[in-house]
């Protein structure tokens, strides 16, 4: 005979652990932190632009001034937009690239690039990045003498560099970068400035002003820098006062 089957009563379920109870103070603190985060995000989202409906760079920068005239047939310059992969990464709304010559046969290449909206991840490109990307090796870089310009009480701080071309020869460069009212283009300083402008509800514009000369020997750089300093000073003075803030501010 088979053994009798005995039934077992089900074990009583253990009571669920009570959920932790948060104090009113902790809840209020959490709500306050979320509100502060939302407010900070709102403040950090720029809603105003530094300049709207900017004038045409090509029209406002003269093709002749002082002893300088535009050369129609000139050698290609280092592209200010080199390295941009998509339209969204393009920091410039207007660019101008020309070569000028004076009565002594000295030539200066001019590159102007303006962007209406400078952001943390998309802003004016520094020449010491663009030149290596196009086959140059930067041999020297440092602060250039500030350039006294019309329409600005303080001289404009500049950077100068000497780049060597892959196929031989050199290029002497003098430039400044303006983001809003700040000069220098230093990475961290520019990011901090853009962030602070964002908290004020503003998107700063950005401007690259670059002059350069082709050289056969590196020892011609000092003379070249002096020529470009005078060129840039005369250039800014020749731009109409009403649109000069594109270049200097």
Q: Residue 10: pLDDT band by 50, 70, 90 thresholds?
A: low
Query: pLDDT class for 74, splitting at 50, 70, 90?
Result: confident
Q: Which residue has the higher pLDDT, 10 or 242?
A: 242
DSSP, collapsed to helix, strand or coil, labels residue 99 as strand
Element holding 49 (H helix, E strand): strand 48-49
Give the pLDDT confidence score for residue 186 in this predicted structure. 66
In this structure, the strands spanning 48-49 and 64-65 are unpaired
CB distance 210 to 163 below 8 Å: no
pLDDT per residue over 131-149, tens digit each?
999 999 999 999 999 999 9
pLDDT at position 28 is 60
Residue 178 CA from chain centroid, whole number: 8
d(CA 182, CA 176): 10
Q: Is it the case that residue 14 has pLDDT exceeding 90?
A: no
Strands annotated E in 126-226: 136-147, 156-165, 170-179, 182-183, 202-203, 206-215
Which pTM does this prediction carry?
Answer: 0.76
Please give the share of the chain, as a percent, with pLDDT higher than 70. 73
């Amino acid at each position: 005979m088979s053994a009798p089957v005995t039934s077992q009563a089900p074990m009583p379920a253990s009571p669920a652990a009570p959920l932790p109870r948060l104090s009113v103070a902790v809840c209020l603190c959490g709500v306050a932190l979320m509100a502060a985060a939302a407010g900070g995000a709102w403040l950090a989202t720029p809603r105003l632009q530094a300049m709207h409906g900017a004038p045409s760079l090509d029209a406002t920068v003269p093709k002749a001034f002082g002893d300088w005239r535009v050369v129609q047939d000139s050698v290609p310059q280092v592209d200010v937009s080199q390295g941009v992969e998509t339209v969204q990464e393009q920091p410039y709304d207007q660019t101008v690239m020309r070569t000028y010559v004076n009565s002594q046969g000295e030539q200066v290449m001019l590159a102007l690039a303006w962007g209406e909206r400078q952001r943390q991840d998309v802003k004016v490109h520094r020449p010491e990045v663009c030149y290596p990307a196009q086959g140059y090796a930067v041999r020297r870089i440092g602060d250039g003498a500030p350039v006294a310009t019309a329409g600005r009480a303080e001289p404009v701080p500049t950077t100068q560099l000497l780049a060597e071309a892959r196929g031989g020869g050199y290029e002497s460069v003098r430039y400044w970068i303006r983001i809003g009212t700040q000069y220098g283009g230093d990475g961290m300083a520019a990011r901090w400035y853009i962030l602070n402008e964002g908290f004020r509800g503003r998107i700063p514009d950005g401007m690259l002003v670059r002059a350069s000369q082709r050289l056969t020997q590196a020892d011609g750089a000092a003379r070249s820098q002096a020529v470009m300093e005078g060129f840039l000073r005369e250039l800014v003075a020749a731009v109409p006062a009403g649109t000069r803030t594109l270049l200097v501010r």
